[in-house]
Chains A and B, each alone.
Chain A
Amino acid sequence: MKYFSVIWSSLKRKKTRSILTILSILVAFILYGYLSAIRLGFDAGVEVSGVDRLVMQHKVSLIQFLPESYEARIEQVQGVDSAVHGTWFGGIYQKPMNFFSQFPVKVEEYLDMYPEYVISDEHKKAWLETRNGAIAGRTIAERFGWKVGDRIPIQATIWTRKDGNPTWEFNLVGIYDGVDKSTDTTQFFFRYDYFQEARSFGSGNVGWYWIRVDNPDNAAEIAKEVDQLFANSPAETKTQPEAAFMQGFAKQIGDIGFIMTAILGAVFFTILLVAGNSMAQAVRERIQEIAVLKALGFTHTAVLAMVLAESLLLACLGGFAGLAIAWTMITTMGDPTNGSLPVFFLPVKDVVIGVLLAVLTGLAAGILPAIRAQKLQIADGLRR
């Protein structure tokens, strides 16, 4: 630490260069933060799914319906705590670009299945009392500026109404929050009984089931057992843990993790060049000074450490500031895809990795110039 002032003054020697290097590192870390949050957004379902929940769908594909009557039969299976169904509504609010998911559900059973959706007793009561009532997640409500009491018209794409009206009108009776920021608050739920009564076809059919088991350790066996229950029936099923189901979805889009890693690889390669080049210049310009330091009695190792420390300081100043800016931008500005991602935040884990990356960048950029400074012979340096 006693050398800090020396290191600091070598950074100040060429202010423009140091500032530019710090800025380019900073930008790389802003990008790192953003890409981490985006990747999480695509994978969100996986990280937030409940370990005790299974998803049961039709064996052929998710678009095939299952009978409503399966619920009671699933619940009879030993080890199953409860089962509740969901159906894809797929309606359009104003225009197709305003995509968000809507599901008809049974109010109490669903809220019981998903305790991570937090809704006030008052809103819940209103929902139970309002037949065409619906609740929306905080994010989606803010995106469209909805308030409790608003009427939300949603144009049917699949589910035409018996009365021929192309639009379903819902009464927004509540807004739910997430138990923490990893909860998906971009969804819209309305009552199944209203849906069942008004839809023009498919009566008694639902899209899939969520099943909660008593003990997550038995999840795999129970999944097998419920599938056995409906084997050789007209609607055979495929049951898997919720995390696997969500993972399947993320994988359908593509290997997001790989794409993000590839991009970040290119970014950090670029930054290493910039920072490494800057450190090399810094050492080249100071050959004489370094020789003087050594002549004064600084050891080779001390010189190596000082150059490395300088590089580390550059990288950490840029890296930490970049992470801080990324965090602020992500928290305040939100999702760059305008609501297509179910969650958007920078998890602590990725911040920690970012800090380590900054340290690594500093060491990697500084190591070659530092070795050059370490090996420098006093006589050679002074003769320059």
Chain B
Amino acid sequence: MVAAMNWLAQVIAVTSFGIRTLPERRGAAAAAAFGIAGVVAVMVSVLSIAHGVNQTMDKSVSSRNAMVLRSGSDTEMTSGFSNDTAKIVAEAPGIARNEFGPLASPELFVVIDLIKSSSNSDANVPLRGIAQAAYEVRENFQIVEGRKFEWGRNEVIVGSAASREFSGLDVGKSILVGSEPWNIVGVFSTGGGVAEGEIWTDASVLQPAFRRGNFYQSVIVRLNSEDSFTEFKDSLTADPRVNVKVIRESEYYAGQTAILTAVITGLGSLIAVIMGLGAVFGALNTMYATVSARTREIATLRALGFKTSPVLISILMESLLLALIGGTLGGALAYFAFDGFEAATLNWSSFSQIAFSFRVSGSLLIQGIAFAALIGILGGLFPAIRAARLPVATALREL
């Protein structure tokens, strides 16, 4: 016990001694810390894109909602079925009802070319045709400016993110659908989520404008409860009159961004690993320089009876400290520069723009700092071993 306490005291003494002398080597120490800060900043920023996209998808989801698509299709964009099918779906068991009937919204999902503000070039903006029940199905729908569109007229409301990302989407202006101008009468919010990047209008007005006949692409339903899903799904799957696929909203949106987030995460990790390797070399450099600058100190300590392991640990600790400072700095940089940064990108699955915000979450910051710590440990390990192995006599003789 006494030995352990003694050992710990040695570790603390040597480590604090090393750290107190850090200012003497501030140039090299700063180079290592800033290098690691750069790595963490890039890693966290890139991964915050994938994080933001996923969070937007999560906010689109209600556990009580289910989506019905044509069987075989995996997005609303490629789905399609007749009004008869939509009616059969609406009558299926498990759907919640209000005084007007079942909470099932047969919808149309198309895209329209508009100008993206950030790049000033064409973008496929999602244009959704909805039915009355749509407002009830989406939990957090609210108009934040203007009013709802009137049924049967060439009017649209735009999501708050769409209004921000694409030019010309302000209340009072209009969009051209073919040769006809459609008036923008309101801006809506759904408390985050994909819908805020969309434009909504009356499905029955959109059908003729896009020559869709009496067809829909999806039915979005609100279930009595989460548990009603199986009942709802089984009844439709067994129904010979329809050929549809029933999935939970969560499952649908997870599938929508699978490719996008896989690509971003893959590239981001690759970049982080390569950059991290560079930073390890930088940290090694700094720590070797530290060891050589402190050769005499270390040898003196050893001559005074300090054991090798406290010396080894103190070098590792110093490297770790620099890495943690760098990691925190990089994480903070990414957080202040990019958390909440608003953007839109093309979602290949639905062939349309999805508006989202970069999200630097706590877990991402922890991931970044952990990565920094790993760089610090790798960068400190070999110099620490060298320090521990210094032959005392020759080291003392060194300049």
Residues on A with C-beta less than 8 A from B118 are 255
A157-B73, A255-B118 given as contacts; is B285 within 8 A of A20 (CB)?
A: yes
A252-B346, A281-B28 given as contacts; is B74 within 8 A of A97 (CB)?
A: no
In the bound complex, how far is the Cα of B177 from the Cα of A236, in angstroms? Answer: 11
Decide if B242 is an interface residue (CB 8 Å cutoff). Answer: no
Flag B313-327 by CB within 8 Å of A: 1 or 0 each.
000000000000000
Residues on B with C-beta less than 8 A from A111 are none
Q: Are the C-beta atoms of A20 and B281 separated by less than 8 Å? A: yes
Residues on B with C-beta less than 8 A from A263 are 42, 46, 271
Decide if B8 is an interface residue (CB 8 Å cutoff). Answer: no
Q: Are the C-beta atoms of A277 and B31 separated by less than 8 Å? A: yes
Q: Are the C-beta atoms of B71 and A266 separated by less than 8 Å? A: no
Decide if A64 is an interface residue (CB 8 Å cutoff). Answer: yes
Residues on B with C-beta less than 8 A from A234 are 211
Q: Are the C-beta atoms of A277 and B28 separated by less than 8 Å? A: yes
Residues on A with C-beta less than 8 A from B286 are 277
Q: Are the C-beta atoms of A24 and B274 separated by less than 8 Å? A: no
Decide if A145 is an interface residue (CB 8 Å cutoff). Answer: no
Flag A219-253 by CB within 8 Å of B: 1 or 0 each.
00000000000001010101000000001110111
B127, closest chain A residue (CB): A61
Q: Are the C-beta atoms of B31 and A274 separated by less than 8 Å? A: yes
Instruction: Provide 8 A-B residue pairs closer than 8 Å at the C-beta atoms, listed in order of the A residue.
Output: A20-B281, A23-B281, A63-B111, A64-B211, A90-B78, A97-B259, A158-B78, A274-B31
Q: Are the C-beta atoms of A99 and B348 separated by less than 8 Å? A: yes
* Minimum Cβ distance to chain A for residue B334 (Å): 10
In the bound complex, how far is the Cα of B278 from the Cα of A34, in angstroms? Answer: 15
* Minimum Cβ distance to chain B for residue A88 (Å): 8
In the bound complex, how far is the Cα of B30 from the Cα of A251, in angstroms? Answer: 38
Q: Are the C-beta atoms of B282 and A232 separated by less than 8 Å? A: no
Question: What residues of chain A have their CB less than 8 Å away from a CB belonging to chain B?
Answer: 16-17, 20-21, 23-24, 27-28, 30-31, 34-35, 38, 59-64, 90, 92, 96-97, 99, 155-158, 160, 166, 232, 234, 236, 238, 247-249, 251-255, 263, 266-267, 269-271, 273-274, 276-278, 280-281, 336-338, 340
Q: Which of A35, A96, A238, A278 contacts B258 (CB 8 A)?
A: A96
Q: Are the C-beta atoms of B270 and A34 separated by less than 8 Å? A: yes
In the bound complex, how far is the Cα of B284 from the Cα of A278, in angstroms? Answer: 11
In the bound complex, how far is the Cα of B348 from the Cα of A17, in angstroms? Answer: 47
* Minimum Cβ distance to chain A for residue B85 (Å): 13
Q: Which of A97, A278, A336 contacts B285 (CB 8 A)?
A: A278
* Minimum Cβ distance to chain B for residue A34 (Å): 7
Given contacts A251-B119, A252-B346, A338-B266, 17 further A-B contacts (CB under 8 A): A16-B288, A24-B282, A27-B281, A35-B271, A59-B178, A64-B110, A96-B349, A97-B262, A166-B72, A236-B179, A252-B116, A254-B344, A270-B35, A270-B275, A277-B28, A277-B286, A336-B267
**Which residues of chain B from 177 to 199 have a CB within 8 Å of any chain A CB?**
177-179
Residues on A with C-beta less than 8 A from B345 are 252-254
Q: Are the C-beta atoms of B277 and A27 separated by less than 8 Å? A: yes
Residues on B with C-beta less than 8 A from A21 are 281, 285
For B, the interface residue count at a CB cutoff of 8 angstroms equals: 65
A61-B113, A263-B42, A340-B259 given as contacts; is B274 within 8 A of A157 (CB)?
A: no
A27-B274, A157-B72, A252-B123 given as contacts; is B210 within 8 A of A60 (CB)?
A: yes
* Minimum Cβ distance to chain B for residue A45 (Å): 13
Flag B255-291 by CB within 8 Å of A: 1 or 0 each.
1001100110011001100110111011011101100
Q: Are the C-beta atoms of B278 and A271 separated by less than 8 Å? A: yes
A24-B278, A251-B116, A274-B282 given as contacts; is B259 within 8 A of A17 (CB)?
A: no
Q: Are the C-beta atoms of B38 and A269 separated by less than 8 Å? A: yes
In the bound complex, how far is the Cα of B111 from the Cα of A21, in angstroms? Answer: 51
- Counting residue pairs across A and B whose Cβ atoms lie within 8 Å, the total is 167
Q: Are the C-beta atoms of B266 and A252 separated by less than 8 Å? A: no
* Minimum Cβ distance to chain A for residue B305 (Å): 29
Flag B96-122 by CB within 8 Å of A: 1 or 0 each.
000000000000001111001011011
Residues on B with C-beta less than 8 A from A99 are 259, 348
* Minimum Cβ distance to chain A for residue B129 (Å): 14
A31-B275, A340-B259 given as contacts; is B124 within 8 A of A273 (CB)?
A: no
A61-B110, A252-B123 given as contacts; is B34 within 8 A of A273 (CB)?
A: yes
* Minimum Cβ distance to chain B for residue A199 (Å): 12
In the bound complex, how far is the Cα of B133 from the Cα of A238, in angstroms? Answer: 36
Q: Are the C-beta atoms of B284 and A20 separated by less than 8 Å? A: yes
Q: Are the C-beta atoms of B122 and A248 separated by less than 8 Å? A: yes
Decide if B7 is an interface residue (CB 8 Å cutoff). Answer: no
Residues on A with C-beta less than 8 A from B34 are 270, 273
Decide if B343 is an interface residue (CB 8 Å cutoff). Answer: yes
Q: Which of B72, B80, B113, B178 contacts A155 (CB 8 A)?
A: B72
Decide if B77 is an interface residue (CB 8 Å cutoff). Answer: yes
A88, closest chain B residue (CB): B351
* Minimum Cβ distance to chain A for residue B273 (Å): 10
Residues on B with C-beta less than 8 A from A255 are 118-119
In the bound complex, how far is the Cα of B119 from the Cα of A173, in angstroms? Answer: 42
Residues on B with C-beta less than 8 A from A62 are 111, 113, 124, 351
Residues on A with C-beta less than 8 A from B41 are 266
In the bound complex, how far is the Cα of B38 from the Cα of A271, in angstroms? Answer: 10
Residues on B with C-beta less than 8 A from A158 are 73, 78, 80
* Minimum Cβ distance to chain B for residue A82 (Å): 25
Q: Which 5 A-B pairs have the closest CB atoms?
A: A277-B31, A27-B278, A24-B281, A270-B38, A274-B282
Q: Are the C-beta atoms of B266 and A337 separated by less than 8 Å? A: yes
Residues on A with C-beta less than 8 A from B343 are 254
Q: Are the C-beta atoms of B124 and A61 separated by less than 8 Å? A: yes
Residues on B with C-beta less than 8 A from A232 are 179
In the bound complex, how far is the Cα of B371 from the Cα of A197, in angstroms? Answer: 57
Residue with the greatest number of chain A CB neighbours at <10 A, chosen from B30, B35, B39: B35
Flag B51-82 by CB within 8 Å of A: 1 or 0 each.
00000000000000000001111110110100
Decide if B250 is an interface residue (CB 8 Å cutoff). Answer: no
In the bound complex, how far is the Cα of B41 from the Cα of A200, in angstroms? Answer: 52
Residues on B with C-beta less than 8 A from A27 are 274-275, 277-278, 281
Residues on B with C-beta less than 8 A from A276 are 31
Residues on B with C-beta less than 8 A from A336 are 266-267, 270
Flag B325-353 by CB within 8 Å of A: 1 or 0 each.
00000000000000000011110110101
In the bound complex, how far is the Cα of B78 from the Cα of A66, in angstroms? Answer: 17
Residues on A with C-beta less than 8 A from B349 are 96
Q: Are the C-beta atoms of B28 and A337 separated by less than 8 Å? A: no
In the bound complex, how far is the Cα of B118 from the Cα of A156, in angstroms? Answer: 35
Q: Are the C-beta atoms of B110 and A92 separated by less than 8 Å? A: no
A160-B72, A252-B122 given as contacts; is B178 within 8 A of A236 (CB)?
A: yes
* Minimum Cβ distance to chain B for residue A318 (Å): 10
Q: Are the C-beta atoms of B281 and A253 separated by less than 8 Å? A: no
